[in-house]
């Protein structure tokens, strides 16, 4: 059935970030809607961020586009050039290769919910962290290229 039953799709707050970056992710959870709906062209994450939480470390992708639409609540889009409030129906686009690290921070008193679209391919850059996703070696490294220990989940 094309309409997705969101309550039947498992929600998780797992992260593959190494410490100390994983510790900041406990207030966001997500459901993988694309996989649940049988889609393979692009991924869709249904993300909830509790008050005080953030969607991810601030990041940008070398090789894949990202798009998000806010569905419930409100949160701040933090990017290189400043901050923008996002409310239900607001959309944001992040073209591949644009060196504008971004994430969503919930400073409100209520959870926010948004959808994020994109594929998980290519390198990912984290301007605020000693962190880099090295897609050729399928691992997180420090900025000097030293791999973090694998297997954090």
Give contact residues for its own copies (rule: CB under 8 A). 1-4, 6, 33-34, 36-42, 44, 46, 64-65, 67, 69, 71-72, 77, 79, 81, 84, 86, 88-96, 98, 100, 102, 113, 115, 117-119
| Closer by beta carbon to its own copies, 64 or else 140 | 64
Cα–chain center distance at 58: 9
Of 19 and 121, the one with the shorter C-beta distance to its own copies is 121
What element of type H or E holds 33? Answer: helix 33-36
CA proximity to 25, closest of 113, 90, 104: 104
Under 8 Å between Cβ of 150 and 13: no
Q: Is the dihedral of CA 102, 94, 22, 132 positive or negative?
A: negative
Nearest distance from C-beta of residue 150 to its own copies, angstroms: 28
Token code pair at residue 97 = 């290769």
**Minimum distance of its own copies from residue 81's CB (angstroms):** 7
Is the CB of 46 or the CB of 132 nearer to its own copies?
46
Q: Which CB atom, from 53 or from 101, has the smaller least distance to its own copies?
A: 101
Place of tokens 């008050």: 51
- Which token pair is 147? 């791999």
Q: How far is the CB of 51 from its own copies (least distance, A)?
A: 19
Shortest separation between residue 124's beta carbon and its own copies, angstroms: 15
């Amino acid at each position: 059935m094309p309409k997705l039953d969101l309550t039947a799709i498992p929600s998780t707050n797992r992260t593959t970030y190494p410490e100390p970056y994983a510790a900041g992710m406990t207030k966001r959870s997500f459901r993988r809607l694309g996989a649940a709906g049988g889609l393979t062209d692009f991924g869709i994450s249904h993300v909830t961020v509790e008050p005080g939480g953030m969607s991810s470390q601030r990041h940008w992708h070398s090789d894949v586009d990202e798009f998000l639409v806010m569905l419930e609540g409100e949160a701040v889009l933090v990017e290189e050039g400043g901050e923008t409030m996002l409310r239900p129906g607001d959309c944001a686009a992040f073209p591949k290769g644009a060196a504008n690290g971004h994430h969503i921070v919930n400073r409100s008193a209520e959870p926010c919910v948004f959808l994020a679209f994109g594929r998980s391919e290519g390198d990912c850059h984290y301007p605020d962290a000693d962190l880099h996703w090295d897609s050729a070696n399928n691992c997180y490294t420090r900025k000097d290229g030293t791999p973090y220990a694998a297997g954090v989940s």
